[in-house]
């Protein structure tokens, strides 16, 4: 059975959490001085352990196991959201460091080594999953040139802060057999089920629409109810339709949200002439997303003859990403070796694995988040669960080294 050093793992996680520490969490926004310090710290740790490590000019850190002709790529990201938690992303990177380092110390004779990755800007301070995208497929110059942070700082300017011209690290399909990413769950399901390890079945696709309603502004005291063209009422009726119709067509894992709603002109004594809301829905299955989209568009179409007319404007469409079921099965077997029955759940959040999975087989392991909290300084996982997750992933890696045919093909 593969072994790792649990105390060293926890010590490294805590050392990393001091870079950009904010109360009980971490503020390490991509390309900030703290983020770059954390990346250089990781390069130092990897070099110390004998890896060929560097940060490239995108901010991606790769530690190559130079003695091995092939490698399993393991990693995540060390950037955080503003005033974020200490484990989001960092956990998966330090797992990778600890697993790679332990395999080296054990003088593994496998021709499959472990390469360690920390991707840049997974959280999208400038461009969501910038690091994993540039590592796998590249990102168009036009997209890089137009990307900017909320405060208007261009990505091009942020890249200068890295102070390196080192060429981009690239996924090498001849070397990198698969990608493994561990992450905190960021939700309450493992804790609610009293389970400690989850295998991610897939990452959800997201469809987002702006629904707009058009009516006529009239005096709300003098216009009889049956003579109004009330855009607000039409939009609220649409929201009610979502609440009653979506459960009839959704899959068991579908989630949806109306996250904003506004009325214009927005006064108590004026019938709204315009109103809009933003509806998003998520599922790992394209067929479910397609069905819900068709229902939404048909409902909007039906409003054409109503006193207030609706329009649907697509805002974004993120494709679902399948995780490799053969890699997932290996993680579940590794968990069983520690007496843990893995739970199989989709990820409702995006991760770097989403992009890497387009090129090579990928799998994700989740450990519980206490109270389901994440993207907040209260984010935490028990030490015992942190160590167990790393042991399970290390065991999965050693099973894959011993039996590479279990890696399967993509996805």
Q: Which is nearer to Zn ion, 89 or 272 (CB)?
A: 89
Question: What strands, in cross-sheet order, belong to the sheet with 309-318?
Answer: 255-264, 274-283, 205-214, 309-318
Q: Which stretch binds Zn ion (CB under 5 A): 54-62, 85-93, 323-331, 363-371?
A: 85-93
Q: Which stretch binds Zn ion (CB under 5 A): 88-96, 97-105, 215-223, 245-253?
A: 88-96
Q: Residue 75 burial by CB count (10 A; 0-12/13-18/19+): exposed, middle or buried?
A: buried
Q: Which stretch binds Zn ion (CB under 5 A): 82-90, 151-159, 251-259, 260-268?
A: 82-90
Q: Are 257 and 271 in contact (CB under 8 A)?
A: no
- State how far the Cα of 213 lies from the Cα of 25, in Å rounded to an integer: 42
Q: Which is nearer to Zn ion, 118 or 274 (CB)?
A: 118
> Which 8-state DSSP code applies to residue 31?
T
CB of 164 to Zn ion, least distance (A): 24
CB of 183 to Zn ion, least distance (A): 6
Q: Which is nearer to Zn ion, 9 or 184 (CB)?
A: 184
Q: Which is nearer to Zn ion, 116 or 234 (CB)?
A: 116
Query: What is the phi-psi region of residue 245: left when phi exceeds 0, alpha when psi lies from -120 to 50, beta otherwise?
Result: alpha
115 near Zn ion, judged by CB under 5 A? no
CB of 213 to Zn ion, least distance (A): 36
Q: Which is nearer to Zn ion, 89 or 368 (CB)?
A: 89
Q: Which stretch binds Zn ion (CB under 5 A): 84-92, 225-233, 274-282, 309-317?
A: 84-92
Q: Which stretch binds Zn ion (CB under 5 A): 19-27, 80-88, 208-216, 270-278?
A: 80-88
- Phi and psi at residue 388, to the nearest 5°: -60, -45
Residues in CB range of 125: below 8 A, 6 or more apart:
29, 30, 31, 79, 81, 149, 150
Determine which residue in the list 89, 202, 350, 361 makes contact with Zn ion, applying CB under 5 A. Answer: 89
The CB-nearest residue to Zn ion is 89
185 near Zn ion, judged by CB under 5 A? no
Q: What is the 3-state secondary structure (H, E, C) of 337-362?
A: CCCCCCEEEEECCCCCHHHHCCCCCE
Q: Which stretch binds Zn ion (CB under 5 A): 26-34, 89-97, 270-278, 401-409?
A: 89-97
CB of 276 to Zn ion, least distance (A): 31
88 near Zn ion, judged by CB under 5 A? yes
Q: Are 131 and 121 in contact (CB under 8 A)?
A: yes
- State how far the Cα of 125 lies from the Cα of 31, in Å rounded to an integer: 9
Q: Which is nearer to Zn ion, 89 or 328 (CB)?
A: 89
Longest dimension (CA), the chain: 85
Q: Which is nearer to Zn ion, 89 or 215 (CB)?
A: 89
Residues recorded for the chain: 411
Both tokens of 8, joined, read 């060293």
With tokens 């992450």, the residue in question is: 183
- State how far the Cα of 260 lies from the Cα of 126, in Å rounded to an integer: 23
Q: List interacting residues with Zn ion (CB under 5 A).
A: 88-89
């Amino acid at each position: 059975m593969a072994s790792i050093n649990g105390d060293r793992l926890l010590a490294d996680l805590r050392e990393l959490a001091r870079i950009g520490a904010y109360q009980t969490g971490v503020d390490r926004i991509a390309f900030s001085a703290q983020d770059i310090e954390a990346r250089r710290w990781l390069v130092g740790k990897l070099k110390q352990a004998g890896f060929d490590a560097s940060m490239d000019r995108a901010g991606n850190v790769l530690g190559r196991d130079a003695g091995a002709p092939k490698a399993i790529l393991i990693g995540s990201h060390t950037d955080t959201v503003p005033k974020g938690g200490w484990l989001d992303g960092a956990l998966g990177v330090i797992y990778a460091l600890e697993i790679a380092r332990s395999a080296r110390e054990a003088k593994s004779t496998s021709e499959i080594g472990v390469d360690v990755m920390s991707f840049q800007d997974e959280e999208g301070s400038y461009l969501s999953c910038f690091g994993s995208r540039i590592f796998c497929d590249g990102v168009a110059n036009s997209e890089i040139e137009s990307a900017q942070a909320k405060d208007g700082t261009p990505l091009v300017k942020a890249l200068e802060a890295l102070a390196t011209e080192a060429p981009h690290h690239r996924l090498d399909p001849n070397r990198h057999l698969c990608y493994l990413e561990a992450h905190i769950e960021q939700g309450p399901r493992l804790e609610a089920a009293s389970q400690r390890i989850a295998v991610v079945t897939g990452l959800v696709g997201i469809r987002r629409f702006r629904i707009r309603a058009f009516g006529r502004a009239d005096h709300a005291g003098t216009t009889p109810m049956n003579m109004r063209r009330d855009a607000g009422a039409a939009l609220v009726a649409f929201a009610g339709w979502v609440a009653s119709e979506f459960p009839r067509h959704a899959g068991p894992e579908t989630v949806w949200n109306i996250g904003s709603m506004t009325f214009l002109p927005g006064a108590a004594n004026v019938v709204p002439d315009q109103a809009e809301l933003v509806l998003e829905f998520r599922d790992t299955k394209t067929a479910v997303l397609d069905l819900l989209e068709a229902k939404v568009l048909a409902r909007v179409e039906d409003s054409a003859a109503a006193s207030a007319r609706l329009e649907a404007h697509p805002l974004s469409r993120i494709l679902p990403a399948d995780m490799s079921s053969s890699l997932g099965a290996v993680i579940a077997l590794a968990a069983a070796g520690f007496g843990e029955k893995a739970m199989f759940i989709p990820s409702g959040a995006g991760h770097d694995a989403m992009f890497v999975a387009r090129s090579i087989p990928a799998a994700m392991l989740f450990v519980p988040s206490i109270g389901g909290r994440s993207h907040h300084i209260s984010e935490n996982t028990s030490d015992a669960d942190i160590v167990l997750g790393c042991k399970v992933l290390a065991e999965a890696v050693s099973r894959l080294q011993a039996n590479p045919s279990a890696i399967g093909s993509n996805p």
